[in-house]
Structure 1
Amino acid sequence: MTAPYACDPDQSRGRLYPEEGSTFRSCFQRDRDRILHSSAFRRLKHKTQVFVEHEGDYYRTRLTHSLEVGQVGRTIAGALGLNQELTEAVALAHDLGHTPFGHTGEDALAELMAPYGGFDHNAQAIRIVTQLETHYADFDGLNLTWETLEGIAKHNGPVKPPLPYALSEYNQRHDLELLTHASAEAQVAALADDVAYNNHDLQDGLRAGLFTEEEVAELPMVSEAYAEVDRKYSGLEARRRRYEALRRVFGFMVGDVIDQSRANLEASGAETAADLRHLGKPVVVFSRDVHSQLAVIRKFLFTRMYRAPSVVEVRKHVTQVVKDLFQIYLSDRSLLPGNWQARMALVSSEGEVEIARSIADYVAGMTDRFALLEHQRLCGGTGLGGLHGPAQR
Structure 2
Amino acid sequence: MRHKVRTGAFCLTLALILALLPLVTQPIPTAFSASTRPAQGGCPSIAAIDNFLPSPIVGASFSVTGDTTTYVFDSLEDRSPVNGVPGLIAYCIYPAQPPGNPDSATALAHGANGDPFQVHWGSIQGYFAFVRGHGNPSNIELDGTTGIVMGTATWTSATPPVSQTILLHINDAAECQRLYGGNEDTCFVFPAGAPTPPPCNGNPACKEVVIDEAISTDPLTVPAYTLLHLHYTYMIVNQATNDFDMIFYPPTPRTRDINSGGGKDYFGCEQIPDPAGSPGGQGTFPNYQGTGFTLRMTVPNPGAGCQQSRFTFTARNNNGEPIVLSPGEMIVFTIDMVTRVNQGGHQEFTSCGPHYLNSGFTVKWFQSDDGQLHSFTTNPPIVVNVVGCDRTRLGVDTR
Calculate the TM-score normalised by the size of structure 2: 0.27
Considering Cα pairs closer than 8 Å and 6+ residues apart, tell me whether 1 or 2 has the greater RCO: 1
Calculate the TM-score normalised by the size of structure 1: 0.27
Greater share of helix residues, 1 or 2?
A: 1
Greater share of strand residues, 1 or 2?
A: 2
